[in-house]
Amino acid sequence: MSTKELVLETVLDLPDDATWSEIEERIRFLAAIESSRQEVRDGKLVPHEDVRDLLRSWTTQ
């Protein structure tokens, strides 16, 4: 599904009384998901163990 098709489907699924802010929020949410998926495809990941160690260092100081 193309980006345009996804946006159109999403907007059509919103209630008829959706506000501009709600529409914008939904589109920004979809864009963030797609951006994250692209990062995964590009291999730009932080291993779970590294995240766990980083969080541990933040909470033990």
Res 61: pLDDT: 64
- Chain position carrying tokens 């920004």: 28
| Structural domains in the chain (count) | 1
Q: Which domain holds residue 35?
A: 3-59
Long-range contacts for 3-12 (Cβ within 8 Å, ≥24 apart)? Answer: 3/34, 6/30
Which pLDDT tens digits describe the chain residue by residue (61 residues)? Answer: 899 999 999 999 999 999 999 999 999 999 999 999 999 999 999 999 999 999 999 987 6
Query: What local confidence, expressed as pLDDT, does residue 3 receive?
Result: 94
